[in-house]
Amino acid sequence: MEKLVTLWYGSGAYNLTLGQAVMIVVGMVLLYLAIAKKFEPLLLVPIGFGGILANIPEAGLAISALDQAIEVARPAVLQQMASALGAALDPLAGQEAWRATLKALVDNGASPDQLRAAKDVAMNVGYGDGLLYTFYQVAVASGIAPLIIFMGVGAMTDFGPLLANPRTLFLGAAAQFGIFATLFGAVGMSAMGWMDFSLEQSAAIGIIGGADGPTSIYVSSVLAPELLGAIAVAAYAYMALVPMIQPPIMKLLTTKREREITMTQLRPVSKLEKIVFPLALLMLVALFLPDAAPLLGMFCFGNLMRECGVVERLTDTAQNALINIVTIVLGLAVGSRLMAESFLALETLGIMALGMVAFAIGTAAGILMAKLMNVMSKMPINPLIGAAGVSAVPMAARVANKVGLESNPHNFLLMHAMGPNVAGVIGSAVAAGVMIKYLG
């Protein structure tokens, strides 16, 4: 009978907290959106599943060996860890109180040496870092996974349309206004006392407006790791919603006549130009914004591999096998941040709301910039392609194309929209660099 009771105490059903149950449902919802609704399935399937794994009670997949030991270890081990941390446990208080004391000590108060000693104790009795925790440390906390994905994106990106019509870079720049307006919005919400975001957190939230998953994850891993889960989920969810968020804004801000504008055909771009471009971009980054070097450096590297044409095997790996592997690891690692304690907070709602605003403002700014350019220059620009300035490659460009076709069935804007679209990628990486420079 006693054995049975022990088994029951160790079971998930006994230990499940309300928060964990809610987060498991959230994970299921993400899986539903990914599988049934096809919302960015490549990322939301791993993220949703990772979120479920991270919330399995007692399993500790998403926490370090030390935290895991504190949560489930026997009293004798707790005593040992307490002595390693240089604290005494009150023998009268119960086990739960001991665990709370240790947790508080580890979170703040213990020196790095003490933490290492306590971790050794935990490791010695057989506790190990959780799988998702390890993924997170290796892939996301180090910044590696988003950067490798960026390299893969570089290897997939054709800069031809951009090189043929470099002015579309301005559209990509204008759409980044969404990032900074959202940053200001987050700061404003804190100033009004609705939320409590620091400037770093506001910047990380703003970058959702860049509509660029890897950039968002990279920036928040540097500036606000505690919000990473919510930010990544918001970024990918809204990227999937681009076809629903953008068209109403596009139609609101343009007249039918503007939407019908046909653009002159793009000139062919030579291979040499395409090879020189990533190198030129890299030089500009080196000269003006070294803080964007990790992101844009990997991006340029991937693109150079693609365009130079002599390392096809590497290009193939970067844009297929490697990016797929990293996507799995990154998705699970991001999912591990969907733990109840950190995700179920008012802040998450704020982030979701701000993320939506970021997309909308970015889209509007891109369109307005295109209209402005139309007034100032002779070459006609269809304002719809301005909306593609929020990166979300290539979804935003396809949306611009689709809305254009609705007004004029013979007007294919896709290639024209790819220009601002990839410009948006560069623009949001530059914006990320500025923020990291200013706040990092």
Partner 1 sequence: MQDFELLEEGLTLMALGMGFVFVFLTVLVMTITLMSLLLRRFAPAPVESAASGAARSAPPAQQDEEVMAVIGVALHRYRQRHRR
User: Which segment (70-78, 220-228, 376-384, 425-433) binds partner 1 by CB under 8 A?
Assistant: 425-433
Residue 87 or 164: which CB sits closer to partner 1? 164
Q: How far is CA 373 from the centre of its chain?
A: 31
Residue 20 or 327: which CB sits closer to partner 1? 327
Residue 319 one-letter amino acid:
Q
Distance CA 54, CA 362 (A): 33
Radius of gyration of the chain (CA): 24
Distance CA 27, CA 22 (A): 9
Please report which helix (H) or strand (E) contains residue 61, including its range.
Answer: none
Q: Which of residues 266-325 bind partner 1 (CB under 8 A)?
A: 268-273, 276-277, 280-281, 284, 288-289, 319-320, 323
Q: How many C-alpha atoms does 306 have within 13 Å on its Cβ side?
A: 23
438 binds partner 1 (CB under 8 A): yes
Distance CA 35, CA 48 (A): 11
User: Which segment (105-113, 190-198, 237-245, 247-255) binds partner 1 by CB under 8 A?
Assistant: 190-198
Residue 183 or 334: which CB sits closer to partner 1? 183
Please enumerate in sequence order all residues whose Cβ is within 8 A of that of 381, keeping only pairs 6 or more positions apart, or say none: 167, 261, 263, 370, 373, 374
436 binds partner 1 (CB under 8 A): no
Which of 363, 401, 407, 421: binder of partner 1 (CB under 8 A)?
401
Q: By C-alpha distance, which of 409, 410, 387, 408 is closest to 399?
A: 387
Q: Which of residues 145-184 bind partner 1 (CB under 8 A)?
A: 156, 162-163, 166-167, 169-170, 172-173, 176-177, 179-181, 183-184
User: Which segment (22-30, 301-309, 330-338, 407-415) binds partner 1 by CB under 8 A?
Assistant: 407-415
Q: Is the dihedral of CA 332, 290, 161, 173 positive or negative?
A: positive
Residue 363 or 401: which CB sits closer to partner 1? 401
Q: How far is CA 278 from the centre of its chain?
A: 24
Q: How far is CA 347 from the centre of its chain?
A: 17
Q: In whole angstroms, how close is the CB of 130 to partner 1 at the nearest point?
A: 28
123 binds partner 1 (CB under 8 A): no
- What does the binding site for partner 1 look like in residue numbers (CB under 8 A)? 42, 156, 162-163, 166-167, 169-170, 172-173, 176-177, 179-181, 183-184, 186-188, 190-191, 193, 199, 202-203, 265, 268-273, 276-277, 280-281, 284, 288-289, 319-320, 323, 327, 394, 398, 401, 410, 412, 414-415, 423, 426-427, 430-431, 434-435, 438-439
